[in-house]
Amino acid sequence: MSKLFPPSANKLPLQIIIYVGVLAVIATAGVTYYMTPKYTRVGYAPVQPVPFSHAKHVNELGLDCRYCHSNVDKSYHSNVPTSQTCMNCHNQIKATSPLLAPIKESYETGKAVPWVWIHQTPDYAYFNHSIHVNRGVSCVECHGQVNTMDTVTHMQPLSMGFCIDCHRAPEARLRDPKDIFNLDSKTLAEQGRAADAAKFVHDWKVKPPQSCSGCHR
Amino acid sequence: MKRKVEHPAASESALTGPKYWRSLDELAATPGFQAQLEREFPAGAAEMNGTDRRQFMKIMAASFALGGLGLAGCRRPEQNILPFGKSVEGIIPGLPQYYATAMPLRKSAIPLLAETHQGRPTKLEGNPTYTPHGGATTLIAQASILDLYDPDRATAHTKGGGVLNAAAVNEVLASIGKNYTGSNGAGLAFLAEESSSPTRARLLKKLRSKFPKAVWAEYEPVVEEPPVAAAQACFGASVKPVYRFAKAKRIVSLDCDFLSAESGSLYYAREFSKGRKVKTKADADKMNRLYVAESNFTLTGSMADHRLRLASSHILGLAIGLLTKITGNTELAAQAEGLGVKPEWIAECAADLVAHRGECLLVAGAHQSAQVHAIAYGLNAYLGNIGKTIDFVAIEPSTAASISDLASAIKSGSVKTLVVLGGNPAYNAPADLDWAALQKSVGEVIRFGYYSDETTAASPGCAHIAAAHYLESWGDARTADGTVVPVQPMIMPLFGGLTENEILARIAVETNADPYALVYETITGLAGGDAEKAMRRFLHDGVLAETASPTIAVALNMASVRALFQKMPAKVEFSAKSLEVRFVTDHKMDDGRFANNGWLQECPDPMTKISWDNAILVSPKLGKELGIDPKGSLIQVARKEENEFYIGKENGHVYELTIGGRKIKGPLHIQPGLANYTVVVALGYGRTATGHVGTGAGFSGYAARTTTAMHIATGATLSDTGTRSLLANLQEHWSMEGRDIVREANIDEFKENPAYVRGVGMESHSPSILGEEGEKMKLGERAAAVPRGGSLYDTPSDKNGGFDGHHQWGMSIDLNTCIGCNACVVACQAENNIPIVGRDQVLRGREMHWIRLDRYYSDGNIDAAAFGGEGNAQLPEDPQVSLQPVACMQCELAPCETVCPVNATVHDDEGINTMAYNRCIGTRYCANNCPYKVRRFNFFDWNQRHLDSLYMSQLGPKGMPELVKMVKNPEVTVRMRGVMEKCTYCIQRIQNGKIQHKVKMAQVGTPGEVVVPDGTIKTACQQVCPAAAIEFGNILDGQSAVSQAKSREHDYSLLGYLNIRPRTTYLGKLRNPNPKMPDYGALPLSRVEYNKKNHPAGSGEHGGAGEHAPAHGEKKEPGHALLDAAKKIGGLS
């Protein structure tokens, strides 16, 4: 039988296996990295109709989160303030700034300012703000250090894995209830107060749901 | 690990006698029914049709191509948050708000609390401030919210095809006022509906004083209140009765469906169920006893301890019989003869009433004659019930003309302008008036209505003024007991609709026709004191305190009563050639006004279980005489040959019903329990001009109804048209194979053995499924520890850290008080965004209701061929009914969970069997493995696709109308095609309840108190239940209402022997028959059947485990035949 294949072809099966293997690894790695919320969402910082700076309002002026997001401890949503809330101060301060024009217009006409939604959970996940901020979870855990941001940026993946990590081990992320709205504060664990964290979990009977029904209904 | 549920093999004796049967097919064990038992879904439910393989491939190819084009849309869409420009007081985005309002209906109203989300109402609940209803509502009130978002409603004011703007409408209305001021209203006529609104009454007075010569007529096609003539004759006063069922120990209903068809029936149902609530044997003596004589088979009849089938025309005779026996007055006795009623029935019933003077009650149906009511009043007076179980309250005598008066005025040509306020006379006026033609003959017609309907169509040139929904209106109303309640708008009129009050005010040229101002004036006038404060209080509470009509002391005036009986109706004999026809208010459509409501259309009738249609109901005996029962043993409903039987699809013979020359056509449905020669026609169907939903559903009974025979007609005949019509009957779907499903006992047995449920059913023959260890535990422990018993499957429990240790949810349903009204079905639909699937899909068995109400018949005499007997010689005519609501039982050892390949249905840490829709890939294994058949599959994208183009799939139009989106509950996912769904115990309410409680506790400084107090969380079905039959709560808390209910001795699990440990358990049903009655049975008929099946040798008493040595020798032959049959269908393999 004549030689149909050169001797080098003997290595071909091995080469193919290695090649396919490498390709699979690259594809898997690519999908795992690029197609997860960690890549698709973290860093999302859209341009807002009004360049509102949290850094200025919180860090420089010392506004509490709840001045604007007034229902965060009562409701599902952490409400974005109405234009009227802005105008409480801005009818005095920088009242003529052109940057504020959309707010002023909205206040006068009653039409909403179209703020771009950044931290968006899927429709089938029901996240409740009030239960988190009332029971030891600070804004900063999900939203990052908003108090230092000029432009709000998506800091955490907010994927199911991200939620579950904390729900499985809440003691690592709990803060002193006094520090919830202090975005520069540290968690009890970070302060080295692991015993306090454990006491918190015990006394408050913190048992975050890990069942589907906790968030999906 | 897969766990296979093995049903215990049926013993020979077990197969020799049937028990419950839910349809005549089941009773006869027709091959079609057997085949259905073997199926996961009814035939056709899981199959494609109308498309062959080749076409399917084509469509799929096209869809893939479209999918490819769509890849460009991978990027996440940018979405906006739109806060208010100016802050709105009280609104917190994400939290619902509740406002008091009320649903007006004829002369009554149902006080409500409306849940609104950012200004759109999504759900209605009963207003608990109005104590007689205790926070409950009705089926119709639950569904009424869907009408608000009906895309088919009148969306603009029109005239002859053109659109009228608001100013033009005002001009039209004001011009009427101006034009007729000079003539004092001569030539002006109004046709309105009945109303309890004090504001309308006030405006009407004004209108009348302004236009004294105008005709004001009111018309309602159905009656809900007893004739005033009866009260006038008896007491010489304009009064109406208010029954106090909770105080009545013995109740006699004379053709009165007080649980659903009477004014105030919600209050009556609630009170009646109080008298049925038996917690322990100490309560047993307090249980009421209900005697019902009726021609139709109503819900009230289904609750009866003694039920007498009697033509409605003969009810007077029965009443006279009772009168004679009770008072000894024989003046009218001759009338009571020849009814075919056993004299002992009357005598013993009468004796029972006499023995309970002052604590018994006789009620008569609103459609019955004044004479029947007079006898009922007279007997109540004689028995000393007035002021105890029956009160009389004053009512304003009606001064309105009747529709006949108005018709003759139109005929005489004296009506120039006709204002039709609501109603739908062209559809539902008596046929002899020929209303459509009359209306056409009037020069100017102004029509005010919610739909552009038959009445609008009858006068093509009329001005149609769009009405506002009651949830868009300012108004007021009175409940059946006279309490004034507000009708408060939840949303601005979506289409600029007006209210009736506003129209009247504008015609009467009031200076201020603002609807709020009109109500304000009335209410502040009624309340007195600080006007603003009173109004605010009124709107906040939802009731105006102490406005219930005062009770009036009445005395019987024998002279005028005698006058009423001067002329007695002629006695009528009925036969197949001369039938009685009962026109009844439909349980769902009412008089037809809710015909375009998809929730109501799809909800099955509580007795016939037919949805989307009505039928001519005939008794089995009449069916036989008509020759529509199949010969031999194949007794099938309304069909003759077996091969015409499509499983789950009832193929009704279409018959023509002729009454006095007027004909209507409709499919026959054989309904056991009807009076032999009474034919029942439900009104409200056969609409020709309403929306997409209602048009063409069923047939209209109004076409054969005349002024003289509005509710009961005689001398009717039936003739076969030779055609057939399919009925979407849910009756045979989801069968449970006729085992010990509803467990019942007579009250005497219960008194001796409150734990009788333990002696019935498979579990009584086997060691406890909980194991010895589990049997010793308390309810709460058992729920937390989940004793393994004989189970290999390791479910979450406290032991393995799977449970949260605070809550374990459970439910208890009291079968003794459930009246089967279906309110829970629609409440659940509204709460959980359950889609409508349409008639065609219901015919295929794809209905989506998370709760169904099983209705079982039992007559004790079953000897079906399938069980080795000779076969039924006759169709049973007088069955007992057992009703049972079934939703997901949230089994602790749930068989659905073990078969899910993707873990989409898993247990949560509070003992709920959850559904993660996003994980579900639609294998439907779970539904296949569910012994209760409570899982529902989205065969189509019901929400996104139009119901008439479901089969076009991707090629059909997509998207939910904006208006329909508004009714959806934002707390619940809207499911798409291909996912399974089922009851979740209203998981959204549980989560919200827990969150709100924890937030509150954290804010008041006691964050450790995380256990939600009992009663805070209510499921939608529990909240709506008129009979308060459902308890729900935390079973870890031994004091919770549900724990208390579950620890009663007559608590049992449905199919408990499967060891799946349902979290929903039932309290057994009790009956309270009178041992002296001729139709008394020592056991309920279902138990007689149970015993016949399980103890054919009559082994009698049923005791603890394992005492039944099989005495199976006698019936060897039939048993073998059955074994063979069972092998064929794989039951014993």
Q: Are residues A156 and A140 in the same domain?
A: yes
Report d(CA B994, CA A64) in Å as an integer: 27
Instruction: Tell me what percent of the residues of chain B surpass a pLDDT of 90.
Output: 49
B13-42+737-1071 CATH fold: Alpha-Beta Plaits (3.30.70)
Q: Is the pLDDT of residue B25 over 90?
A: no
Contact A84 B1010 (CB under 8 A): no
Cα of B806 to nearest chain A Cα, Å: 9
Is A121 inside any structural domain? yes
Section A152-160 average pLDDT? 90
pLDDT band at B1119 (very low <50, low <70, confident <90, very high): very low
A136 and A99 within one domain: no
* Contact residues, chain B, for A113 at CB < 8 Å: 82-83, 85
Provide the pLDDT for residue B760: 81
pLDDT of residue B713: 92
In a domain, A202, yes or no: yes
The closest CB to that of A84, out of B87, B805, B991, belongs to B87
Same-domain status, A65 and A108: no
Nearest residue, CB atoms, B82 vs list A112, A177, A210 = A112
pLDDT for res B863: 55
A204 neighbourhood in chain B, CB within 8 Å = 1002, 1007-1008, 1010
Are A65 and A152 members of one domain? yes
- In terms of domains, do A88 and A180 share one? no
For residues A142 and A60, state if they share a domain.
Answer: yes
- Whether the per-residue pLDDT at B1105 is higher than 60: the answer is no
DSSP notation for B304-324: -SEEEE--GGGHHHHHHHHHH
Nearest CA in chain A to B1004: A134
Does any domain span residue A2? no
Query: Do B988 and A126 lie within an 8 Å CB cutoff?
Result: yes
Rounded to a whole number of angstroms, the distance between the first and last alpha carbons of chain B is 22
| pLDDT interval class at B1125 (50, 70, 90) | very low
**Strand (E) or helix (H) holding B241:** strand B239-243
Q: What is the mean pLDDT of chain A?
A: 90
Q: How confident is residue B878, by pLDDT bands cut at 50, 70 and 90?
A: confident
Lowest mean pLDDT among B503-512, B851-860, B874-883, B976-985: B874-883
> Cα distance from B847 to chain A (closest Cα, Å)?
21
Task: Write the CA distances from B756 to B23, B766, B1101, integer angstroms.
Answer: 27, 16, 11
Contact: A213, B914; criterion CB under 8 Å: yes
One fold for B157-219+402-513 and B228-394: no
Phi, psi of A152, rounded to the nearest 5 degrees: -70, 130
Q: Check CB contact under 8 Å for A75 and B972.
A: no
The shortest C-alpha distance from A39 to chain B (Å) reads 13
CA B691 to chain CA centroid, Å, is 22
Q: Does domain B157-219+402-513 have CATH number 3.40.50.740?
A: yes
8-state DSSP, A60: I
Whether residue A104 lies inside any domain: the answer is yes
From B79, B87, B1008, residue closest to A82, measured CB to CB = B87
**Per-residue pLDDT tens over the stretch B371-382:** 999 999 999 999
Residue A69 corresponds to which tokens in the numbers above? 């997001």
Predicted local distance difference test score (pLDDT) of residue B48: 55
CA–CA distances in Å: residue B22 to residues B18, B68, B607, B878: 11, 50, 11, 14
pLDDT at B32 over 70: no
**A91 and A164 inside one domain:** no
Structure tokens at B1087: 């138990």
The pLDDT of residue B595 is 92
- Does the beta-carbon distance from A134 to B998 stay under 8 Å? yes
Total domain count, chain A: 3
- Measure A5 CA to nearest chain B CA, in Å: 41
Map out the domains of chain B as residue ranges. Answer: 13-42+737-1071, 157-219+402-513, 228-394, 579-729
Q: Which of B82, B97, B972 to mutate to test the interface with A (most CBs of A within 10 A)?
A: B82
Query: pTM for this structure?
Result: 0.87
Contacts of B1003 in chain A (CB under 8 A): 73, 134
Q: Are residues A99 and A124 in the same domain?
A: no
Confidence of residue B1097 (pLDDT cuts 50, 70, 90): low
Domain B579-729, CATH class in plain words: mainly beta
Separation CA B1040–CA B132 (nearest Å): 24
B chain contacts of residue A73, beta-carbon cutoff 8 Å: 999, 1003
The C-alpha atoms of residue B1042 and residue B1053 are separated, in whole angstroms, by: 14
Average pLDDT, chain B: 84
Contacts of residue A115 in chain B, CB cutoff 8 Å? 80-83
Tell me yes or no: is domain B228-394 CATH 3.90.650.10. Answer: no
**Most A-contacting residue of B75, B79, B86, B806 (CB-CB within 10 A), to test interface:** B86
| A191 to chain B, closest Cα gap in Å | 22
pLDDT, greater one: B155 or B863 = B155
pLDDT reading at B1128 higher than 50:
no
Do the Cβ atoms of B80 and A117 come within 8 Å?
Answer: yes
- Which of B118-132, B607-621, B862-876, B881-895 has the lowest average pLDDT? B862-876
Kindly report which listed range (B59-63, B557-561, B936-940) carries the lowest average pLDDT score.
Answer: B59-63
Do the Cβ atoms of A115 and B916 come within 8 Å? no
Tell me, rounded to whole angstroms, the distance of Cα B21 from its chain centroid: 21
Residue A49 domain-assigned (yes or no)? no
pLDDT in tens, A72-131: 999 999 999 999 999 999 988 888 889 999 999 999 998 999 999 999 888 889 999 999
Chain B positions touching A210 (Cβ under 8 A) are 909
Rounded to 5°, the CA angle B1053-B1057-B1063 comes to 35
Cα B162 versus chain centre, distance: 40
The answer to whether residue A147 is domain-embedded is: yes
Contacts of B677 (CB under 8 A, 6+ apart): B311, B574, B575, B576, B578, B579, B580, B619, B622
How many other CB atoms are there within 10 angstroms of residue A165's CB atom? 13
The answer to whether residues A91 and A191 belong to one domain is: no
pLDDT in tens, B81-126: 999 988 888 888 889 999 999 999 888 999 999 999 988 999 999 9
Please give the residue range of the domain that contains residue A191. Answer: 54-80+117-214
DSSP 3-state of B658: strand
Bridge partner list, B655: B666, B720
Q: Are residues A148 and A70 both part of a single domain?
A: yes
Is the Cβ–Cβ distance between B612 and B602 less than 8 Å? yes
| Residue B851, pLDDT above cutoff 90 | yes
Residue A1 in domain = no
| Nearest neighbour of B998 by CB, restricted to A117, A131, A217 | A131
Place of tokens 């009961």: B712
- Contacting residues of B for A71, CB less than 8 Å apart: 92-95
Pair A72, A171 in one domain: yes
DSSP three-state, residue B166: helix
* pLDDT(B957) > 80: yes
Q: Identify the residue among A52, A213, A215, A216 best suited for mutation to test binding to B, counting B beta carbons within 10 A and taking the highest.
A: A213
Report the pLDDT value the prediction gives residue B65, as an integer from 0 to 100: 57
Distance CA B1109, CA B1097 (A): 11
B83 neighbourhood in chain A, CB within 8 Å: 79-83, 112-113, 115
Chain B environment of A111 (Cβ under 8 Å): 85
**C-alpha–C-alpha distance, residues B913 and B147, integer Å:** 33
The answer to whether position A43 is within a domain reads: no
Residues A96 and A147 in one domain: no
Query: What tokens were used for B703?
Result: 């076409």
Work out how many CB contacts closer than 8 A connect A with B. 149
Query: What pLDDT is attached to residue B330?
Result: 84
State the sign of the Cα–Cα–Cα–Cα dihedral B959, B964, B968, B970. positive
The percent of residues in chain B predicted with pLDDT above 70, rounded, is: 85
Separation of alpha carbons B150 and B142, rounded Å: 15
Per mean pLDDT, which range of A12-26, A37-51, B362-376 is the poorest? A37-51
> Which of B912, B944, B991, B1000 is most worth mutating to test chain A (most A CB atoms within 10 A of its CB)?
B991
Mutating which of A202, A212, A215, A216 best tests the B interface, going by the most B Cβ atoms within 10 A?
A: A212
State whether residue B464 is helix, strand or coil.
Answer: strand
Give the pLDDT confidence of B318-357 residue by residue, as tens digits: 999 999 999 888 888 888 787 888 889 999 999 999 999 9
- Higher-pLDDT residue of B7 and B444 is B444
pLDDT at B777: 80
